A and B are shown apart, each in its own frame.
Chain A
Amino acid sequence: MRWSRRCTTPRSTSGHRGTVNVDSLYQEIILDHYKHPHGAGLREPFEAEVHHVNPTCGDEITLRVHLDGETVSDVSYAAQGCSISQASASVLNDLIIGKSVTEGMAVLDTFTELMQGKGKIEPDEDVLEDGTAFAGVAQFPARVKCALLGWMAWKDAVSQALVTTSASTTGDPA
């Protein structure tokens, strides 16, 4: 509901509406996450840390995952990049922490599907919450990779963390 309320109010701009509609890209909610990112910073403990770079633009993120059994108990990160990539990492932090790995992967799939939908997919608010604000990004092909940077890092990190934790539970040296 929070998203619906905030996004039905169009951003006020000084004219030039109906041009390339940047307002559909820069939803208030995205700018809020950008200015006040949730869960930013690198924390311990963690089972895996990855560093992902977007080679075309230079955006980067270092991301750590801490698993507590099957539960993702922390996702911490240090990111450098544009408002879209920063806000996306912040929303990821909100959505994933406390979920099981399987549930988190399902959210990732839903978010990825939205991003690759060229703006034609209706976002599932129940699953994506604030992430629905990224629906507009899908209409800007050059920015989709910005929105996905943190998510791809998370997917990589959680895969590595699963290997690490299964190795330690089977007694193999990590």
Chain B
Amino acid sequence: MTAVETTTYDVARIRQDFPILGRRLSGDLPLVYLDSANTSQKPLQVIEAIDDHYRLHNANVARAMHQLGAEASAAFELGRDKVAAFINAPSRDEVVFTKNASEALNLVARVLGDAGRLGSGDEVVITEMEHHSNIVPWQQVTQRTGATLRWFGVTDQGRLDLDDIDTLITERTKVVSLTWVSNMLGTINPLDVVIAKAHSVGALVVVDASQAVPQIPVDVAALGADFVAFTGHKLVGPTGIGVLWGRYDLLAELPPFLGGGEMIETVTMAGSTYAPPPARFEAGTPPIAQSVGLGAAVDYLSAIGMHNVAAHEQQITAYALGVMQEIDGLTVVGPKDAVDRGGAISFTLDGVHPHDVSQLLDSRGVAVRAGHHCAKPAHLRFGVQSTTRASFYLYTTEQEIDALVEALHHTKKYFGA
């Protein structure tokens, strides 16, 4: 069960960048933060960038003519440049800032419907392992347009069931929207297969990369999808900013999402014309300090190297899967080995409800998430109402996994399970 740290990756050094990881909880217990799939912790570099922005450069963007306005505008747009480079977007104008990944997915679904790209007889294909934010917007737009919603099932092993791909993705399919890495099962989906099939029938592909961008190197140009959505706060950035990347030619022909300031070309009382992307999709004052923080976050991850982050995630997940599955009565819901798998492990513990598990773990300083993780259909697929989820990131150590295992043994004893 011992795993050797790579010589280039110094997790102890990385942890020093995250002030919160040094926190003591009540009872003077050290924090064991295993809830990074929910939200990641933030390094000093991000905290200080946001602090610096508010202290020295704060102004509204793209309209203030004074010096601070110019600085804030430059800082906000620099965040866009950095994000574009981080995901290898062919153009910075393909990076649309939203408030989170949910809004990014809603944006795509809404404007595709408004553009008349969905109607009666058309189909949208999603999967049974989606987060609610990649289910509900598609239910709404298909109901609104008369299109039909279909979905891939999930195998007993927690993998996407591709057996019926040829009957699911057909000439009727207009959009295929799926997650890259499941937030509940941890599964990494074979996007290449799905994208190739979808494009062969002329369907657009939307990828929910909320759990992928934080933990694996992402190159949207190489990926070949049409839209990719993710959020800043899961990749050591601030809350309040999400990203929709879209192919420029597509963004350019789609109608606006929200109306308001900054998304227009000109406005008269009789009507308005709209700005080109990305401004067309960014009505109102944007997340300015959040863009600065997100820029610092991707700088931070790039300096460590996303390949190193991914290797660490893989290693710590393999270690956790090993030691956790030695616990009697613990069942991992999702792939049981660390192949094509992200760093979120959902599980059940015989005789103890997940809320009670998480409460007991919390009493030992171990922070995990319990519930349906906004993936009720995926839970239903495995016949469970809820699970406990431990999730890891670039700062997670094997000692923390050991603390989780010890706390799980304590939980079993406490409930006599």
Contacts and interface: CB of A to CB of B under 8 A. Distances in A.
13 contacts: A14-B413, A19-B364, A20-B26, A20-B27, A21-B363, A22-B363, A35-B416, A57-B371, A57-B386, A59-B385, A81-B353, A82-B356, A83-B356
Interface in A84-110: 84, 86
Interface string B276-297: 0000000000000000000000
Contacts of A19: 25-27, 29, 363-365
B386 A22 contact: no
Contact of B359 (A25, A58, A60, A81): A25
Of A14, A20, A60, A83, the most chain B CB neighbours within 10 A belong to A20
Given A57-B370, A57-B371, A80-B385, A26 B414 contact: yes
B410 A14 contact: yes
B372 A20 contact: no
B403 to A, nearest CB: 12
B23 interface: no
A146 interface: yes
Q: How big is chain A's contact interface, by range?
A: 20 to 34
A83 B414 contact: no
Contacts of B360: 22
A42 interface: no
B355 A18 contact: no
Per DSSP, chain A at the interface is loop
B362 interface: yes
Of B26, B356, B364, B416, the most chain A CB neighbours within 10 A belong to B356
B26 A60 contact: no
Contact of B386 (A13, A25, A58, A83): A58
B415 interface: yes
Contacts of B363: 16, 19-22
A19 B30 CA distance: 12
B359 A143 contact: yes
B355 A84 contact: yes
The 4 A-B residue pairs whose C-beta atoms are closest, nearest first, are: A19-B27, A82-B355, A82-B353, A22-B363
A112 to B, nearest CB: 20
B354 interface: yes
Interface in A69-87: 80-84, 86
Given A82-B355, A84-B355, 14 more contacts: A14-B413, A16-B364, A19-B25, A19-B26, A19-B363, A19-B364, A22-B362, A25-B359, A58-B386, A80-B385, A81-B353, A82-B356, A83-B353, A84-B356
